[in-house]
A and B are shown apart, each in its own frame.
Chain A
Amino acid sequence: MIQLNGIEVRFGDFTALKNINIHVKEGQFYTFLGPSGCGKTTTLRTITGFIEPAAGTVKVKGKDITHLPVEKRNIGMVFQNYALFPTMSVYENIAFGLRVKKVNKTEMDQRVKEMAAKVDLTEQQLARKVAELSGGQQQRVAIARALVNNPEIICLDEPLSNLDAKLRVQLREELKEMQAKFGITTVYVTHDQEEALTLSDCIAVFNKGFIEQIGTPNEIYSQSKTEFVCNFIGDINRLSPSTVSQIAAQTGRQFNPEASTYVRLERIHVNSTRDEGRAIFQGKVTGNEYFGLYIKYQLEFEGQTLKCIDKNDGRQYLRKGDTVEISIDPSDLMVY
């Protein structure tokens, strides 16, 4: 559906994107994930046409749109702050694109109302000014405005970043449902790994204008290809060379103690039944943080500090100073 081939974007002397190659399939929820300034929004704006690349091509359904002006691309976009026109009502905001295309009044009215109903906006809300709506309602208006023109693709630029935590989770779910309902190819930009993992069919992880890894959420999380991706996605422990050597000695597996070796928090087990092939250490609890759903412990053994999380099933609550048995499966280690 969307093909970015060898995209390069420069701002003066600064190269913002270098050799970006992406293939988004039809109907896919594709996320650009990365820290601030990594180039994810620049890539999105290259697709929508706000930025013209210095090199490379942008193709939609095989048609080269690299130099097509933004207003002729028919790619819907939802902006970070929604960019709703403050002087217009909700109705006028949604109808804006149809008015530009000189759609006749009856059809426009019908399409606006249909789209409003699809995104759960009432007729009363259509008459209101956008400033009178809540954050969630504003997001729905922005989505309706982007979709009413029947675009082939919709791009969303961090649409949840300005909302509070609870609303963010709620709207994330609504967004996923809506995407499934419309079945539209979606390109989503976020710096929030949790958002990317829960929403996406495919994720491209950006860093300093390059793509570090493209894959499904599970691939990105469990088989991080680079040290950056491994560090960026989720919380993680870096193991000291002596710990790595001990794991190797206990399990008979070969590891390079000089390499950077990581293990995710939930892959470290505390006081669990002994499975074969796991390395076992005797350690001490040096801290705990209670999260309700789970408890995060800080552990120490032979000079190595580790963090781990334990499901809060009510059976075990460790206190500072408790002695524990820590087990690590060597196949959970990520080595770079």
Chain B
Amino acid sequence: MQAVKIPLKTRLKRMTPGQIALTCVMGAVFIWFIFACMILPILNLLRNVFFDGGSLSLVSFQKLFKSSKAMKSLRNSFILAPTLSLTVGLVGISLVLITEYFDIKGSKVLRLGYMTTLIYGGVTLVSGYKFVYSNNGVLTTFLASIFPNMDKNWFTGYWAVLFTMTFSCTSNHMIFLRNAMRSVDFQTVEAARNMGASQWYILRRVVLPVLLPSLFAVTILTFITGLCAMSAPLMVGGTNFQTINPMIKQFADMTTTSAKSLAATLSLILGISTMILLAIMTAIERRGHYMSVSKVKTKIVKQKINNPVVSVLVHIYAYVLFIIYVIPVVLIVLFSLSDSSHISTRQLDFSTFSLQNYASLLQKTSSYRPFLVSICYSALAAVIVGLLVVVACRFIQKHRNSASGTALEYGLMLPWLLPSTMIALSLIMNYSQPRWYMFNRTLVATLVLLLIGYVIIKLPFTMRMTKAAFFGLDDALEDASKNLGAGEFYTFRRVIFPVLLPTVMAIAALNFNGLLTDYDMSAFLYSPAYPTLGVKIKSLTDEMGNSSDGVALTFVYAVLMMIISAIVLYLVYGRGGRDNIKE
């Protein structure tokens, strides 16, 4: 049933003065938030790039072209992004085929291994890889004992970044591409086989085309991840392979205006690239997904690989991947139970296992503070963004064809187009001095700025998911409530919100999870007195060779993060929570 537009006058007539006042206050809050926290800082950043001494100028670009460091970082990013898309694509597709399409022995265990990146990513994952492969890493130490002349610094630069990111960026494949694979109608496979098609032909001509739209979308997301890479190049890129984001951070940390404007220009290039890629992705999404046209869709049945040689090779490949995924996680868990002497020698001795490292986390303020800081920030940001978006989505739902509804939606989706570094930089540059629209406060180095940053970067995901939940809601529920005499607010409070609550909570949990070990935004905006977990892990990983206590602490953080993430993911996607999130 098409919505009927009720004239504003009639709507106002039906509202109580309290409701009108509340609507006005909420409207003012949203306008202030969108302008003060997003639009004005971005405009200020653009002003920094395009204006010099009050007049339009391209000096920033000239400086950028002259800076060999900046140009090198740009080139590196544009080398990393496509190669990463390729490697992640190949690994990601093979993971999905191994776990969902081919009949591989032990596929359930393999799937668990491949999914470890869902509970263990970002800066924590890089620190884990560094522990295994870096010059004093477990594997390197082991290999060096066999090949004493080997270059112990082999795990650095482009290949190290590419390797680390390839295995850390397959999460999207394991969520979206796996879902697409599950939507393949098995009857189409049977029909092709019935017509004499071979296994390879069916895979190529029947199954993969169904996956193509999802594959395009995840490839573009990987490309963007490659462009915006931060922790991997910073931690394993070495001096020779720094990409745009670490360079922005480096320039932003300098005190000169010229360095800051270089950082802004780089972030603008990153922003424009992201926008172009997202435009391509949207166009692909608009083409739609292939839907099964069967009246009764059949669940895919795993395919036995007929050729025994190929079958053995695929099994070997599957288990090699499994080992690569699982080794850092297993070692982190095991070494988190070891004492510092064994950590420093990279030797495992089960007789020395204890919970001492965990106990010392609780004993030292400097150790547990980053943990608490991150938990508080993540929880607060998840709640704030959840509340803002629920109110916004309700407004958008009620004003779906009006200019105000559309403006609010676009305003809150704005961060989708912008890399988090650009948002962070714009906030730093804008609030390094008092602004009247921020109550004349300087926000840099305060606790508030990172909170604002966290809320902003979680807006687009929360908007997409919550809006889908709102629009998926049966309109008849609201009609029924009104028909029984309930007003607008009573209906929202008693009928709509309770139905949406599991979804809202699930989204909040995912946001909390995502922010817990954030490094990209925290690196720019954290208050020095209150470093976040991501920042702390990064600094401890940098000292990996010098302090075994630091390494132990990193492992404890990582294990706790994995436990929290696993619990959150179980609650959201696991048994009983399966209907919470609908893509």
Contact = CB atoms under 8 A, between A and B. Distances in A.
A59 interface: no
B495 A85 contact: yes
Contact of A77 (B483, B486, B498): B483
A92 to B, nearest CB: 9
Nearest to B3: A11
B6 A70 contact: no
B499 A87 contact: yes
B4 to A, nearest CB: 5
Contacts of A79: 476, 479-480
A100 B484 contact: yes
B482 A71 contact: yes
Given A71-B486, A74-B485, A100-B485, A83 B480 contact: yes
A254 B490 CA distance: 67
Interface string B408-419: 000000000000
A45 interface: yes
B496 to A, nearest CB: 10
B495 A71 contact: no
Contact of B498 (A45, A70, A87): A87
Given A69-B14, A79-B476, A81-B474, A96 B486 contact: yes
Contacts of A96: 481, 484, 486, 494
B485 A97 contact: yes
A97 B484 contact: yes
Contacts of B480: 77, 79, 83-85, 145
Interface string B276-313: 00000000000000000000000000000000000000
B476 A80 contact: yes
B4 A75 contact: no
Nearest to A70: B482
Contacts of B359: none
Interface string A39-77: 001100100101110000000000000000111111111
B434 interface: no
B479, B490, B499: most-surrounded residue (chain A CB, <10 A): B479
Contacts of B269: none
Given A86-B499, A87-B498, A51 B485 contact: no
B574 interface: no
B387 interface: no
Contacts, number: 75
Nearest to A88: B498
B14, B476, B480, B490: most-surrounded residue (chain A CB, <10 A): B480
B486 A100 contact: yes
Interface string A216-241: 00000000000000000000000000
Nearest to B484: A97
A181 interface: no
B483 A71 contact: yes
A261 interface: no
A132 B582 CA distance: 22
Nearest to A41: B1
Contact of B4 (A52, A72, A88, A146): A52
Interface string B486-512: 110010001100110100000000000
Interface residues of B, number: 24
Contacts of B485: 71-72, 74, 97, 100-101, 149
A83 B474 contact: yes
Contacts of B10: 52
A42 B2 CA distance: 10
A256 B487 CA distance: 60
B486 A83 contact: no
A83 B477 contact: yes
A69, A73, A74, A80: most-surrounded residue (chain B CB, <10 A): A69
Nearest to A157: B476
Interface string B359-374: 0000000000000000
Interface string B4-25: 1010001000100000000000
Contacts of B487: 71
B497 to A, nearest CB: 9
A145 B483 CA distance: 10
Nearest to B7: A52
A77 B6 CA distance: 22
A86 B6 CA distance: 28
A85 B486 CA distance: 13
Nearest to A142: B480
B489 to A, nearest CB: 12
Nearest to A97: B484
A226 B480 CA distance: 36
A45 B1 contact: yes
A50, A52, A86: most-surrounded residue (chain B CB, <10 A): A50
B3 to A, nearest CB: 9
A104 B486 CA distance: 16
A69 B479 CA distance: 12
Contacts of B1: 41-42, 45
A260 to B, nearest CB: 34
A38 B480 CA distance: 23
Contacts of A84: 480
Contacts of B501: 87
Contacts of A42: 1
Contacts of A51: 4
Contacts of B476: 79-81, 83
Nearest to B478: A83
A272 to B, nearest CB: 42
Contacts of B482: 50, 69-71
Contact of B490 (A70, A76, A85, A100): A100
Nearest to A78: B480
Contacts of B484: 71, 96-97, 100, 145-146, 149
B483 A70 contact: yes
Interface string A242-265: 000000000000000000000000
B1, B14, B485, B490: most-surrounded residue (chain A CB, <10 A): B485
A100 B487 CA distance: 9
Interface in B491-550: 494-495, 498-499, 501
B494 to A, nearest CB: 8
Nearest to A9: B4
B473 to A, nearest CB: 10
A49 to B, nearest CB: 8
A83 B6 CA distance: 23
Interface string B129-161: 000000000000000000000000000000000
28 contacts: A11-B2, A41-B1, A50-B479, A50-B482, A50-B483, A51-B4, A52-B4, A52-B10, A69-B14, A69-B482, A70-B482, A71-B482, A76-B483, A79-B480, A80-B476, A81-B474, A85-B480, A85-B481, A85-B499, A87-B495, A87-B499, A96-B481, A96-B486, A97-B485, A100-B490, A145-B484, A146-B483, A149-B485
Given A69-B482, A83-B476, 16 more contacts: A50-B479, A51-B4, A52-B6, A70-B479, A71-B485, A72-B485, A75-B483, A76-B483, A79-B480, A83-B479, A83-B480, A85-B477, A87-B495, A87-B501, A88-B498, A100-B484
Interface of A: 11, 41-42, 45, 48, 50-52, 69-77, 79-81, 83-88, 96-97, 100-101, 145-146, 149
Nearest 5 pairs between A and B by C-beta?
A97-B484, A83-B476, A83-B480, A87-B498, A79-B476
Interface of B: 1-2, 4, 6, 10, 14, 474, 476-477, 479-487, 490, 494-495, 498-499, 501
